[in-house]
Chain A
Amino acid sequence: MSSLVGVAPLLLLVVAGLSIMVVDAFTRERTELALVTAASLFVAAAVAGVLLVSDGVPASPELVTRYIAVDRLGLFFDVVICAGAGLSALLAGGYLREHGFERGEFYVLLIFTTFGAMVLARAVDLVSIFLGLETMSLGAYALVAYRRTSARSVEGAVKYFLLGSFAAAILLFGSALLYGATGHTGLADIHRSVASGEADAALTIFALVMLVVGLAFKVGAVPFHMWVPDAYEGAPTPVTTFMSVGVKAAAVAVLVRVLVGAFGDPSTMGLYTGWTPVIVLLAVVTMVYGNLAAIVQSSVKRMLAYSSIAHAGYILVGLAAAYQVGSFAVSAVLYYTAAYTVSNVLALGSLILMGSKGKEAVSYDDLAGAGRRHPMAAFPFAVGVLSLLGMPPTAGFFGKYYVFSAAVQAGGPLVWLAVLGVLASAVGAYYYLKVIVYLFMREPEEDAPIAVPMQSGYVVVALVVAGYYVVKMGVTPGRYMDWAISAASSFIS
């Protein structure tokens, strides 16, 4: 039994999800479900964290490891995904009650979606990739549509569902081709087959492109981003938070596993022939488009959706470098994902805090003058956007520094990718600062509806935790970096 310790966070979540489902069916008072959910997610994160820093993860049965990796990389993503989901649950505890649609199934869905994301992040077999992806996605579709009386919410969900299904189909097609080319479904076997040259090259490349397209969808990379703004805007804000941190992190994890794990053999591909050019291209268009499109938004939530596209671009910069600098670049990607998680929770959480029943804060105008009226609510918002912008001494700055240094280390054309990346992120100054401008430097128009911050302990706790880590990961990044490095080097040397 002890050999299952390595997947304990997953098992814990299953138990928690099932129990909450049962409890929800038999109780009328479901007010503290948010707390229970968040607590179970944090416990899962803590278990994964303890395993991550402990000396060795106990070996798991071969039946498990064939499909689900039990390594530090998986544990690192467990921590990030569970923490992101836990914080989202806390935000939901404030948000759903304030806006009057709290129901038990939300939390159950959240837990199972998180479970799917964790499976995806650990998947080392084409079969488990697809299973994890679908488990995660189905839950996410339902969560986006959760506010079923809102046309926006439903529109976003339908769009997300249709495009997501396409993406899943493309991914499945790619998997089938890859199986055809190599005769294996396990990523390690595929790696061996590709490296030894047994696999049919043309078929493999075609399959790889399909896989990348399918996964780029989930990451929200341009040009596969069409669903992102609508889904993010339509979804209840805690769901937006979860999608931008948990779902994205899982997709990044599986991209790392597929690209670096299965196709990362330097002996078979060079700088110009491997998957690097594809990822570079994706990174370029994603960063440029995401940042430029974010400028013109009038809704803060939509702006944050485009900003999440832009951040996917920065993550791809780190990934592009992974081919040459290996574990260093992967650790940069890991660190960036964690930093982005806390920063985005802080920004979106503050946006949640800014609104109350019937007066949800959505547009910039809703924020006008809030810094003067409610400085305590505006301050975390400012810190959150500054971290997203990458100002020191915040987590966002160090994350950005880390991925760009990976790109510079890869050398050659990737140095120019880093240059483009910093220029694109300078564009970000414009729209992130707009939040601060409206909070602190504008006054609301006469007789415009004014958003009033809600009173919610849950949201405050989430903001305090996220804010703490935004500062902590920026001021003393050493420890978190070491974790990321140990996670990355367990996977690739």
Chain B
Amino acid sequence: MNTQILSWLLVVPAFSALVILLVPRQWENAIRRFSIMAMLLELVLSLRLVFADYSTAAYHFVEKVVWVESFGISYKLGVDGVSLWLVILTTALSPIALYASWGSVTTRIKEYAFSFLLLELGMLGAFLALDLFLFYVFWELMLVPMYLIIGVWGGKDRVYAAVKFFVYTMVGSLLMLVAILYVVTSFEALAGHYTFDLQELSSLVLPELPQYLCFAAFALAFAIKVPMFPFHTWLPDAHVQAPTGGSVILAAVLLKLGIYGFIRFAMPLFPVASQALGPALAALGVVGIIYGAYTAWVQRDLKKLIAYSSVSHMGFILLGLFAMNRTGISGAILQMINHGVSTGALFLLVGVIYDRRHTRMLDDFGGLAKVMPWYTLFFVIITMSSIGLPGTNGFIGEFMALAGAFFSRTPIGFGSSWFVMTLLATTGVIFAAVYMLHAVLRMFWGKLENEKNAALSDITRRESLAIIPLIAMVFWIGLYPKFFLDKMNPTVDSFVTDFTVRYYEGRRTSEPRLVDFDELKQKLEAAGGLAMTAIEQEAPR
């Protein structure tokens, strides 16, 4: 079982979804308990992944089964330092989100549990897949359950939001499909056989123009998912309309798939293009940071506020990622986890108050600290994490991402510099404090003016149960990030080295060709070691 643990991670939700499909819909409580138990089992299984040896960049627990032979499509799974924590994030947040949902979702329990399990299956599959075709299948598979969760159990304008979410995501991903086909076809022309295996395809080096076009197609799909400014407009709609559980999963996990896609697929396959266009994407990330923060500031709807804050936070991640150095990328990955934890918790907390008052408008609240002290405490802690107070997880992630960007030497052009970008991004941290504290102030302090708020009950034990693990994570990552960083660092190091080597091979190519990178790296190593900062030599000083 140890060797097939990744398959078990996919089988458990798939099988549970099937079981739920077959039981009568009247057994509501049984379905509720069963779905939670299945997800907890999933969490326990996934914890096994932490205890592997991550001191090298190799994939662990790799499984490969031929799926469609004539096309070279395989069912190939694996986990490494990049995907490890994202998998854990998924398995940890899914039961929490579902558990929280059972407080507010009262209709069509069976379908809800079914959709949620299917969603977990899709997300895990996308994080684990090492075959482009398999990845694409899981990537699309997530779309339908999320669409249903928003569209069936959502708020008033749920249909509009759900269709917008679906169409946006689909346009991006279909273009990615063509790019995948292009890569595979180019590989076949050289190697004589088809394959969708990422590791095999990595030996393909494309000339510049196809790299740019394919990278653009991949980047569009991932940027929409992130969402990067200006492709973010589906996010506020989806968040506002989705039920609490849907919002939590959307913010905590689904958005991460965009960044993950960049790291796992777009950047290694098209290094020249990512090197050239990366700074532009980072710049859009900075625009997103500031735009998201400003827009969040003026929101009256708490959920919309958090949605725009997500746009802002994801900007930091993009910035760190395209800094293309170890600090920045590690920071980006860590910040993905942090954002998942803190924004997931924020949406849970909004759900708590919404269930009591059926409103999310800031103006309807005020002075809640007097009637809901524990709720206030939780909310403030998560707020601190979200704005990156030292001691919380947000600080570590944002600091690393910003530091990475500050020290980045990737050439930018347009007379711009990483210093300016970092400076602008740093103002985003300040704005984050402004809009979040502004919201906290409006909600919890001041006079208890609205009579409806006077009789509100504090957060229940049941609701706390969902929040407390997340608060524990906030401090664990905030105070002892080494545990998390140690697992991902070797992978990130090797990612940066590989990227550098690939980049130079790509620059020297005018025709598609195959390069044995393992051999090449060994040669370079023997010839005097690989400078991790090789790209920096080109930077205009």
Residue numbers of A with Cβ under 8 A of B are 372, 375, 386, 391-393, 397, 401, 404-405, 408-409, 411, 415, 418-419, 422-423, 425-426, 429-430, 433, 436-437, 440-442, 476-478, 481-482, 485
Contact = CB atoms under 8 A, between A and B. Distances in A.
Contact of A433 (B67, B166, B171): B166
A414 B178 CA distance: 11
A307 B442 CA distance: 52
Contacts of B144: 386, 391
Contact of B69 (A386, A392, A441, A478): A478
B185 A477 contact: no
Interface in B129-180: 136-137, 140-141, 143-144, 147-148, 151-152, 158-159, 162-163, 166-167, 170-171, 174-175, 177-178
B182 A415 contact: yes
A114 B377 CA distance: 73
Given A397-B140, A429-B170, A433-B147, A478 B68 contact: yes
B181 interface: yes
A422 B174 contact: yes
Given A425-B174, A426-B174, A429-B170, 20 more contacts: A386-B144, A391-B140, A392-B141, A393-B137, A401-B177, A408-B181, A409-B185, A415-B178, A423-B171, A423-B174, A423-B175, A430-B163, A433-B166, A437-B163, A440-B148, A441-B151, A441-B152, A441-B159, A442-B159, A478-B68
B177 A404 contact: yes
B181 A405 contact: yes
Contact of B67 (A423, A441, A478, A482): A478
> Which 6 A-B residue pairings sit nearest by Cβ, starting from the closest?
A422-B174, A392-B137, A408-B181, A426-B171, A478-B68, A405-B181
B178 A430 contact: no
Contacts of B143: 391
Nearest to A482: B70
Contacts of A418: 178, 181
Given A391-B144, A422-B178, A433 B163 contact: yes
A408 B182 contact: yes
Size category of the B interface is 20 to 34
16 contacts: A392-B136, A397-B137, A401-B181, A409-B185, A418-B181, A419-B175, A422-B175, A423-B174, A423-B175, A429-B170, A430-B167, A433-B147, A440-B152, A441-B162, A476-B67, A478-B68
A477 B178 contact: no
Contacts of A481: 68, 70-71
B202 to A, nearest CB: 20
B184 interface: yes
Contacts of A409: 181, 185, 188
B158 A441 contact: yes
A477 B166 CA distance: 26
Interface of B: 67-71, 108, 111, 136-137, 140-141, 143-144, 147-148, 151-152, 158-159, 162-163, 166-167, 170-171, 174-175, 177-178, 181-182, 184-185, 188
Nearest to B70: A481
Contacts, number: 86
A72 to B, nearest CB: 16
Nearest to A405: B181
Nearest to B177: A422
B201 to A, nearest CB: 15
Nearest to B175: A422
A450 to B, nearest CB: 19
Contacts of B158: 441
A405 B184 contact: yes
Contacts of A477: 68
A408 B166 contact: no
Contacts of B140: 391-392, 397
Contacts of A401: 177, 181
Contacts of B182: 408, 415
A415 B147 CA distance: 30
Contact of A429 (B69, B166, B178): B166
Contacts of B181: 401, 404-405, 408-409, 418
A39 to B, nearest CB: 31
A375 B177 CA distance: 32
A385 to B, nearest CB: 11
Given A405-B184, A477-B68, A478-B70, A440 B178 contact: no
A422 B141 CA distance: 17
A393 B184 CA distance: 20
A275 B408 CA distance: 53
Nearest to A481: B70
A440 B185 contact: no
Contacts of B67: 476, 478
A430 B152 CA distance: 17
B141 A408 contact: no
Contacts of A391: 140-141, 143-144
Nearest to A401: B177
Nearest to B147: A433
A405 B185 contact: yes
Which of A386, A404, A422 has most B Cβ within 10 Å? A422
A391 B69 CA distance: 21
A202 B197 CA distance: 49
A338 to B, nearest CB: 15
Nearest to A428: B170
A401 B71 CA distance: 11
A76 B223 CA distance: 42
A364 to B, nearest CB: 12
Contacts of A404: 177-178, 181
A401 B178 CA distance: 9
A418 B71 CA distance: 18
A118 to B, nearest CB: 27
B135 to A, nearest CB: 11
A425 B174 CA distance: 9
A476 B65 CA distance: 13
Nearest to A389: B170
A411 B512 CA distance: 14
Contacts of A411: 185
B31 to A, nearest CB: 15
A401 B68 CA distance: 13
A461 to B, nearest CB: 20
A62 B151 CA distance: 61
B166 A419 contact: no
B159 A437 contact: yes
B397 to A, nearest CB: 33
Nearest to B217: A419
A125 to B, nearest CB: 32
